[in-house]
Amino acid sequence: MTGSRPDEAASIEEAEAFLAAHPDISAFDLVLIDPNGIARGKIIRRHELLRLYTSGRHLPGSILGLDVSGEDVDETGLVWDDGDADRIAWPIAGSLVELPWTAPKRGEVRVSLFELDGTRMGADPRHALSRRIEAFERIGMTPVMAFELEFYLLDAHRDAHGRPQTARMPLTGELVQANQVYSLDPLDNMETFIAALYAHAEVQGLPVETMISEYAPGQYELTLRHRNSGLRAADDLVMLKRLVRSLALRHGMRASFMAKPFSGRSGSGMHLHTSLANAAGENLMADCGDALAPLLLNAVAGLQKTLAEAMLLFAPNINSWRRFGRNSYAPTAATWGRNNRSVAIRVPAGNPANRHIEHRTPGVDANPYLVGAGVLAGIFEGIRDKLLPDAEATSYDVNSNHVLPTDWAAAIARASGSVFVKEALGEKMAHVFLALRQSEYDRFMAEVTAEEVDYFGNTI
């Protein structure tokens, strides 16, 4: 049985042109991003590609009901409740790219899942972001978005205690030990990795721009140029993570996208920059004379109002919550400010015509499609209801108007009772996402860790 072809599926001409231009590619990674932000799928042979574009490809819907470890979560409703039924994967337009680091040479095509009748599958996170973008398009606005990516480069081997350790400098063989934020020396030492990253990003059409050494040994940040499509911006982020991870392995390292891989060191964020454009491409958040635009202030207020309910989208895992803390550059309150890196919702300095909002709460372990959906839903609510923000403050000022969850359990509870989360993600996506988070919480709470035994075993 084949499914009805959705209008948004990529055209057969795109695949034909790619095959003609790349006769050396023998296979393709078929990639689907699950609710955890993990790339899942299969490898297909060259001769199978055109059939994907004409007929789609059956995949089990339960692939979107897996937890981070790859285990089925029955409570998602995607396993036994519907008999582990197949859906149809259709290729995303513009997603067919070369994987230049592979040998023999492979390509990649990203897909989204649809029901057999051609309607969007509600548990696909990319569709959740599509819905939020379409809500803006109906009122004549286009979200313009860009992500930042923070990550650690780790040694391929753990230390004597089984803990991760930072990668060795290729030129010296030394482990990175010093915190040298903005130093060029760590970048210079990683020149072969960085050169390969930029070269491969260009081949894939990824708008990778600035790279810096971040606020911890072995930590780095990459920025992406903004896109006039929020979907493309999130696509860029998932592609860049895959590129960084694959290249790190080929250079004898491992890339970590945990929010907090080390105690006592900086966590890794995934900040999202957002503005809105009209049909003429003009920035609707541009300053009005010497003042911030009323629409931008409405957007900030909407993000303030909804942040507590959306925190689980930005910090979905147990490790996510280790990133937050005072003087950590990871915000702990629903505050906003101009040119202030301590706040959750920052209005960066710069050209007034390019004014935009930077949401600094999301961790690098979050799903960019769900982050985008949550941010856009908050902005939409602020604009729709003409909300006004609180006075500017630092992230560490207590804001009684918008009290945030302080741990994973509280965030799960807040999101589970949230009408906003259901509206932001859609009913099915919200149900699946919350089931995954609750299942993982229950799993961690049932586990007796070695640290607990060491701490309490001989003293209590």
The 10s digit of each residue's pLDDT in 329-348 is 778 889 999 999 889 999 99
Distance (Å) of CA 421 to CA 17, 32, 336:
41, 23, 21
pLDDT grade for 182, boundaries at 50, 70 and 90: low
Distance (Å) of CA 175 to CA 33, 120, 193, 254, 307:
33, 48, 16, 14, 39
CATH 3.90.1300.10 fits 134-400, yes or no: no
Q: Cβ distance 194 to 167 under 8 Å?
A: no
Q: What is the pLDDT of residue 52?
A: 98
Fold entry, domain 12-121: Ubiquitin-like (UB roll) (3.10.20)
Q: Cβ distance 359 to 373 under 8 Å?
A: no
Torsion of CA 320, 325, 330, 331, to 10 degrees: 110
Would you mind telling me the total number of residues written for the chain in this entry? 460
pTM (2 d.p.) = 0.95
Instruction: Look at 97-111, 163-177, 326-340 and tell me which has the smallest mean pLDDT.
Output: 163-177
CATH 3.30.590.10 in the chain is located at 134-400
CATH 3.10.20.70 in the chain is located at 12-121
Q: Residue 3 pLDDT > 80, yes or no?
A: no
Q: What is the pLDDT of residue 399?
A: 59
Q: Residue 316 pLDDT > 70, yes or no?
A: yes
Q: Residue 283 pLDDT > 90, yes or no?
A: yes
Q: What is the pLDDT of residue 185?
A: 80
| Cis amide prior to 143 (ω within 30 degrees) | no
Helix, strand, coil percent content, the chain, rounded in steps of 5 = 35, 20, 45
- Residue 13: count of CB within 10 angstroms of its CB: 9
Report the C-alpha gap between 411 and 419 in whole angstroms: 14
